[in-house]
Amino acid sequence: MLPGGAKQGWAGELLQRVNPITAAEHYMRNIVINQYDWTKELDWLISPLIAGIGFTLIAVLVVPRFIGLRGGSPG
């Protein structure tokens, strides 16, 4: 959460674009509320896309090393 004045200017916009949640919220607000064409501001979806790919890679590559599943009969 940034104060109102901090959201203005290039630094504020950069912080909003880097944060995947804020960027996705901005994109969806413009599509749903402002009724923009869905292709108008696709550049706002870069950080949510990178975050999604990054978290998926972490889940696939890193997490199995910490969770060991052992086979066997129940009970």
What confidence tens digit (pLDDT) does each residue in 9-50 have?
888 888 888 999 999 999 999 999 988 898 888 999 999 999
> 12 versus 2: which is more confidently predicted?
12
Where residue 62 falls among pLDDT bands split at 50, 70, 90?
confident
Write down the domain spans for the chain: 9-63
pTM: 0.67
Q: What is the pLDDT of residue 10?
A: 82
- Distance set, CA 16 to CA 23, 41, 63 (Å): 6, 14, 29
| pLDDT for position 45 | 92
Coil, strand, or helix at residue 33?
Answer: coil
In whole angstroms, give the CA distance from residue 58 to residue 23. 21
